[in-house]
Amino acid sequence: MESELGLIEQSLISSYSVWVHEALSGLPDSFTITDPSISGHPIVFASKGFLKMSGYSKNEVVGRNGRVFQGPGTCRRSVMEVREAIREERAVQVSLLNYRKDGTPFWMLFHMCPVFGKEDGRVIHFVGVQVPISRRPRRSGGRNGVGLCEERSRMSEIVYGSCRKEVCFDSLVDLGRVLSLESALDDADSRGFDIEESCEASDVEKMRAATAINNILSVLTHYSESTGRLVCGKRCSLSGVGLLSSALNISLGRIKQSFVLTDPNLPDMPIVYASDAFFKLTGYARHEVLGRNCRILSGADTDSSMIYRIKESIQNETACTVRILNYRKDKSSFWNLLHISPIRNASGKIAYFVGVQMEEGCKNQVGHGLSPEMRQLSAVGAVRIAVRSLSMGAGPSKS
């Protein structure tokens, strides 16, 4: 079984070879790389510059989701913008209020972009660059008068106007020097300046983020050549058949029950998604089940009439629950209380069938007071919601 830690470690190596870490470590920028195909969409790489800026150690960051850096003052709308960009698998640039490990907030320009597989168009990773922003509020509102904002803005200019230029044009400058100034300014913030006041990045900062993204992408592209799985910053081909969007992967990743999605529109209805709990239950690894039919779970004593019932309900596009004898990878068997249901996308058509497994008599399912049947049904509901907006098109623009 592939452990989660193993998945995280392998995430970069399998796409860009073992040498990529060293090359990425040579970049001065503050950035993180996340893998949407792993449950929880965790960070799989954090640069030195990022660790310095956030105050976290590598072990505290890798494997966790980017949300740990957000806090009470983080603008919900900006977070939504990032979420939308992930859903649509496109780049985004927003100002975000993030929090260091010690709890102090700081403004940064967050520039995120997807890394696509050249061959199948799948999103392999998301790269996120963080550029600290010197405070220059977009608009003054509420109680924080214009005067304060302007004063603050002028102060930034005075403190490190020239230093900032160095950062922009000399990528080798020690980020730490700027960062210490940055935190000195943040102290000023807490004295009569509302840090939550929205803040916009300058063109120079935006350019700096874009440059960093390009540098990282060129490293990734270069090293992907050695694995034969080429990546690129722009989608070169349409998403291949049977591939799930990263947004769907992320939504499905939060469902804790054992389940698979199969695609009835492909020959032999292959598995296109399987949850972590499924791997745990069956002993199979991801690459051993994706693309294969669910019959890998059947064995010598599996009742064929049950298989017939499943086929029937798939044909009739209805839901069904069966008790069926299944086999793990190690050939040990278990009674599976299997619930199957068609799942529809934005067009209202059946995109997948979901199969939620429940091992009969299994005691170690943490139910929080919910019966196993309820947990099974809640998983079906969660899958329906995740797939509901899938392939949602836009109508003709007539306005």
Site for other proteins in 79-108 (CB under 8 A): 79-84, 86-87
Rounded to 10°, the helix 203-227/4-16 angle is 90
Nearer to other proteins, 243 or 382 (CB): 382
According to the binding rule CB under 8 A, does residue 66 interact with other proteins?
yes
| Among 117, 128, 132, 253, contact with other proteins (rule: CB under 8 A) | 253
Closest approach of other proteins to the CB of residue 284, in Å: 23
Tell me whether residue 80 or residue 184 sits nearer to other proteins (CB atom). 80
In contact, 224 and 16? CB cutoff 8 Å = yes
Among 12-20, 232-240, 303-311, 390-398, which window interacts with other proteins (CB under 8 A)? 390-398
Map the footprint of other proteins across residues 327-386, applying CB under 8 A.
343-344, 346-348, 368-371, 373-378, 380-382, 384-386
According to the binding rule CB under 8 A, does residue 143 interact with other proteins? yes
User: Smallest distance from the beta carbon of 65 to other proteins, in angstroms?
Assistant: 5
Could you tell me if 324 and 336 are in contact, meaning their C-beta atoms sit under 8 angstroms apart? yes
How many CB atoms are located within 10 Å of the residue 129 CB?
A: 28
Q: CA angle, corner 317, sides to 372 and 374, nearest 5?
A: 10
Which residues from 258-317 bind other proteins, rule CB under 8 A? none
* Residue 68 binds other proteins, judged by CB under 8 A: yes
* Amino acid letter for position 180: S
d(CA 153, CA 294): 61
Per the rule left: phi > 0, alpha: psi between -120 and 50, beta: everything else, 154 is: alpha
Q: Is 147 in the site for other proteins (CB under 8 A)?
A: no
Closest approach, Cβ 80 to other proteins, in A, equals: 6
> CA–CA separation, 140 vs 198, rounded Å?
9
Site residues for other proteins, 187-246, by CB under 8 A, read 194-198
255 near other proteins, judged by CB under 8 A: yes
Nearer Cβ to other proteins (225/317) = 317
Least spacing, CB of residue 319 vs other proteins, in Å? 6
Indicate which single residue of 158, 238, 300, 394 sits in contact with other proteins (rule: CB under 8 A).
394
Of 5, 241, 319, 362, the one binding other proteins by CB under 8 A? 319
Q: Which is nearer to other proteins, 36 or 49 (by Cβ)? A: 36
DSSP 348: S
CA–CA dist 31, 210 (Å, integer): 12
3-class secondary structure, 127: strand
The one-letter code for the residue type at 390 is: L
Confirm or reject binding of residue 43 to other proteins (CB under 8 A): no
Partner residues linked to 326 by β-bridges: 334
User: Which of 72, 228, 267, 361 lies at the binding interface for other proteins (CB under 8 A)?
Assistant: 72
Q: Are 7 and 107 in contact (CB under 8 A)?
A: no
Partners of 274 in the beta sheet?
260
Task: Name the nearest CA neighbour of 331 among 284, 277, 276.
Answer: 284
Distance of closest approach, residue 230 Cβ to other proteins, in angstroms: 28
Count of residues of this chain found to bind other proteins when the rule CB under 8 A is applied:
71
State the minimum distance, in angstroms, from the CB of residue 119 to other proteins. Answer: 26
Q: List, in order, residues 6 or more apart from 243 with CB less than 8 Å away.
A: 120, 121, 122, 272
Tell me whether residue 77 or residue 191 sits nearer to other proteins (CB atom). 77
Q: In this structure, what are the phi and psi dihedrals at residue 127, rounded to the nearest 5 degrees?
A: -105, 130
Task: Report the alpha-carbon angle 335-357-326, nearest 5.
Answer: 35
| Minimal distance, residue 86 CB to other proteins, in Å | 7
Q: How far apart are CA 126 and CA 375, in angstroms?
A: 32
Least separation in angstroms between CB 305 and other proteins: 22
Is residue 114 part of the contact set for other proteins (CB under 8 A)? no
The C-alpha angle 262, 265, 269, rounded to 5 degrees, equals 40
Q: How far is the CB of 98 from other proteins (least distance, A)?
A: 11
- Nearer to other proteins by C-beta: 17 or 357? 357
Give the residue with the Cβ less far from other proteins, 209 or 382.
382
